[in-house]
Amino acid sequence: MKTTRIRSALFGLALLLTAASAAPAQTPKTKATPPAPKPIEDVRFPAFQQKTLPNGLRVVVIEHHEQPAVTLRLVLDAGKSFEPAGKAGLAGATAALLNQGTESRSAQQIAEAIDFIGGSLGASSSIESGFATAQVTSDQIDRGLELLADIILRPSFPEAEIERWRRQALSGLQISQEDPSYLASAALARRVYGDYPYGRPGEGTPESLRSLTRDDLVAYHKRYWVPNEAILAVVGDVKAADAFARVERHFGGWTKGSEAKLPPFEVPKRTKPEIIVIDKPDAVQTEIRIGQVAIPFRDPDYFKAQVYNAVLGANSSARLFNEIRNKRGLSYGAGSWFREATNPGWFQASTFSKTESTVEALKVALEVIRGLEQTPVPEPELTAAKRFITGSFPLEIETPNGIATR
């Protein structure tokens, strides 16, 4: 596997956070030889049909008749990367408050309506996307679409609900800022991306959360929650023609908006690793993060990167976990992942260790990472990594919700 380009992106930054915790390091264990893997089954993503409404909403329908259930999942470009400067947390607030009141229903009425049909309804946001999802039984698909459309098209953002959300968000942020793991990952993101939106705290800051107003939420929703930037997946026990007709009835009146565009991003030029220490004098344990800007998810090498990561740290059979936990007993866990993004995402490896073994744990982690650069992966290990990825896929598409999420 040619991984030179992938490897070269992974050595720019190491972040250490000395953090309070009473957990001891793990006692070394001998890695057991796993059984031989079974032949890979030919599993494919289910067939789908799609249609674009006049307002630009793309509708994808997948018939999945194994269960009498339907998942309705809308995704669009409305994540934290589109937040104005100084308004960190706005994307999350907008999504979280969609089901807390509409022009015709209060938060309680929305909750009672979805509970009455035994379904679920909610919204959230990520680094680039906003999501709204309803799960209902197949005989309640029309009611599910009605409620989903109501919170997406006609949210009212009541002042009382905004204040309740703000109190909860500030409380949660206060807890997070005492969490060493959160602080380490947040500090790494800021160092990797600087002022670019990817490096901003998705949960916001105390200052930004206090500054958010109802007008901010209304404006953000109007600008980014638009049909021409959205895909609605309808997955489950439903006929495609019927699903398209129902979606058009409930979402056809959604007003088209402007295209959402991410700001340009230039990959930072780094010639040598950096080490950052956040000191907590009373700590007995250290959180360790190693990371760097990586590749965007549309990059031709994206799937090679996933195989690379499966070898390195995607699970408890990977090299980081085996070397740091099983062989050295320096930690209870270690792993790595690539964060997907339209612009270059980022790679992160993480572990934690007792304060006195911090340097050793960091050295071992870097040795494992650099080992992939210096020595080709043996064929059996490479095959096992590929099987891990392909073996996970069928589990991810067993249910309507799993399919819709993919």
Residue 1 has pLDDT above 70, yes or no: no
Query: What is the pLDDT, as a whole number, of residue 16?
Result: 52
- When pLDDT is cut at 50, 70 and 90, the band that residue 47 belongs to is confident
Q: What is the pTM of this model?
A: 0.86
Residues 216 and 168 in one domain: yes
**Number of residues that make up the chain:** 406
Residue 147 lies in a domain: yes
pLDDT, tens only, 248-302: 999 999 999 999 988 888 887 777 888 888 887 777 889 999 999 999 989 999 9
Residues 250 and 155 in one domain: yes
Q: Which residues span the domain enclosing 182?
A: 49-262
As a whole number, the mean pLDDT across the chain is 88
pLDDT exceeding 70 applies to what percent of the chain? 87
Return the minimum-mean-pLDDT range out of 52-61, 103-112, 185-194.
185-194
- What is the domain count for the chain? 2
Residues 341 and 195 in one domain: no
d(CA 157, CA 36): 55
* CATH code of the domain in which 335 resides: 3.30.830.10
Distance from the first to the final alpha carbon of the chain:
26
Residues 357 and 231 in one domain: no
Residue 404 lies in a domain: no
Which secondary-structure segment (H or E) carries 322? none
Residue 163 lies in a domain: yes
Residue 267 lies in a domain: no
Residues 289 and 253 in one domain: no
Tokens 């230039």: give the residue: 266
Residues 58 and 150 in one domain: yes
Residues 232 and 216 in one domain: yes
* Domain termination site, one of 218, 240, 262: 262
pLDDT, tens only, 116-154: 999 999 999 999 999 999 999 999 999 999 999 999 999
Residues 205 and 303 in one domain: no
Residues 258 and 283 in one domain: no
What secondary structure letter does DSSP report for 398? Answer: S
Q: Is 260 exposed, middle or buried (0-12, 13-18, 19+ CB in 10 A)?
A: middle
Q: Is 130 exposed, middle or buried (0-12, 13-18, 19+ CB in 10 A)?
A: buried
* Domain termination site, one of 199, 233, 262: 262
Residue 138 lies in a domain: yes
Residues 244 and 317 in one domain: no
Query: What is the pLDDT, as a whole number, of residue 34?
Result: 57
Count the Cβ atoms, other than its own, within 10 Å of residue 388.
18
